[in-house]
Amino acid sequence: METEKTRGFAAIGREILSAARNELYINLPYLDAALCALDFRPGGGVTLSAATDGEALYYDGAWLGERYLRSPTAVNRAYLHIILHCMLRHLAKKRGRAPALWDLACDAAVESILDGLDYPCLAGGETPMRRKFYGQCLQDMPVLTAEGIYRRLLRLDLPEYELARLQRAFWVDDHGLWDPERQDGQERSERQDERWKGLSEKTQTGMETVLAGRSTGGEAVLEQIRVAVREDVDYRAFLRRFAAPREVVAVDADAFDYGFYTYGLRLYGNLPLVEPPETREERRIEDLVIAVDTSMSTSGELVRQFLACTYAILRSTETFTRKVNIRILQCDDQVRSDTVIHDLEELRSYMDRFELAGGSATDFRPVFERVEQLRREGAFTSLRGLIYFTDGMGVYPQKRPPYETAFVLLEEPPLTVKIPPWAIRLVLDLPGLEKAVREAAEEYPELADLDELPQL
């Protein structure tokens, strides 16, 4: 039951947050829309902290008052910390990632921005430990994004005590309300994500105007916002580029002139002057190679999810024929398995019983050597491309193959990874894959079995 004391702390907390918002607005006017985008709500299950679910900023009034007495700039930093989480869309991107590592990566990315802003109202955050961590991360990535830091933490596999030290160094707010699987539904989470993407795009435009030709310390914010609002990859459209032209038995409405057809019927009764063409040319996927990196850095469950999404998209597209010739190659430093798929039901069966074979270092060259051998043996009739699912770290072939090659990555690779210029680099996260599957199911509702795919 709410007491008078609790109501008093709630009112004090609201005044403190309002003061922090006003001071931030004076110093960072290009963030005006974002700074006013969250309602202030006491409670919400939050104690000794502040938190957000993308719609409101929940706070503990007593904790906020005590923190303000110790350091008003700490409250300013906490407020902007939470706003930046929303602008950079950290809440929606949590799905499919290790919660503890993602929370740490998001906090580190946001604090790196705050530590780089040279404003008195945000002073007092950077420490030697933070500076060391930033320097180590910058060796792998040009901009300290949550995605890049998360990938690095996964690769390092730090012991628990070291992870706990980093969490204490960067902790500011409670991320307990971020869960995109909570009861109020995924649709609400997506709606919030779209709202914050729109606010970030407006902020980006304003910042590019304000910062043009000047260095004000806001460049780090702008760089991260550019990454956050980057256009999503259309994986379905990407798969269609591997289709080859072929003639199919179907009426070609575009090449048929209905004027002459109806004129003949009017003139001769039941005798049209022209008949509709019985065939038409379409682009269909017949031959396709899917290569899977089975090195130690690749998860078997992640590969199975990638195959599930690819199956769903291919199953729903008109550019895919019923009878196909798909080769699925598993390779680390050598080809571990070579499976031939003749139709999509075989692909479904393969996906269901998939097991990763390998676990050594990564060398991409054996796959290309195997595909070239198959081409010489006549295993393909119209091979248009090869899709290689990998983390990007390995030995690449120097010579360009006579077909398109795409390396599909779920995260941006480190700067040390140099993908050949002739290859297509497609960075596609799990939410992007899931979105492609949902769009396929909406466009082709008769494909009820899409709903039976494993949840990602």
| Rounded distance between C-alpha atoms, residue 183 and residue 181, angstroms | 7
* Residue 430 is assigned to a structural domain of this protein: yes
Answer yes or no: are the C-beta atoms of 48 and 88 closer than 8 Å.
no
| Within-domain flag for 394 | yes
| Burial of 183 per CB tally in 10 Å (0-12, 13-18, 19+) | exposed
DSSP E strand boundaries for 317-443: 320-331, 335-343, 383-389, 404-409, 424-427
Going residue by residue through the chain, which has 456 residues, state the pLDDT in tens, using 9 for 90 and above: 456 777 788 899 999 999 999 999 998 888 888 899 999 998 877 777 899 988 899 998 888 999 999 999 999 999 999 999 998 888 888 877 889 999 999 999 999 888 888 888 888 777 889 999 999 988 877 778 888 898 889 888 889 999 999 999 999 999 988 876 654 556 777 788 788 888 887 877 777 666 554 555 566 677 677 666 665 566 777 777 777 666 555 555 565 566 666 666 676 666 665 666 655 555 667 788 999 888 765 666 667 777 777 777 776 655 555 677 889 999 888 899 999 988 877 877 887 777 777 777 788 999 999 999 999 999 988 888 899 988 788 899 989 999 989 898 876 676 667 888 898 888 776 666 666 666 666 655 544 444 444 443
Residue 218 counted as domain residue: yes
For residue 373, give the amino acid letter: Q
For residue 229, which of 200, 205, 206, 203 has the smallest C-alpha distance? 200
Report d(CA 39, CA 59) in Å as an integer.
11
Regarding whether 198 and 291 lie in a shared domain, the answer is: no
Q: Are 271 and 264 in contact (CB under 8 A)?
A: yes
Neighbours of 303 (CB within 10 A): 20
Report yes or no on 251 lying in a domain: no
**Residue 131 is assigned to a structural domain of this protein:** yes
Whether 266 is covered by a domain: the verdict is no
Asked if 428 and 409 touch (Cβ cutoff 8 Å), the reply is: yes
User: CA–CA separation, 68 vs 13, rounded Å?
Assistant: 9
For 372, the domain range is 237-245+284-452
- Same domain for 96 and 162, yes or no, is yes
d(CA 146, CA 28): 22
Into how many domains does the chain fold? Answer: 2
3-state secondary structure of 26: helix
Cβ-contact 229, 201 below 8 angstroms: yes
pTM above 0.75, yes or no: no
Would 29 be classed as within a structural domain?
yes
Indicate if 103 and 146 belong to the same structural domain: yes
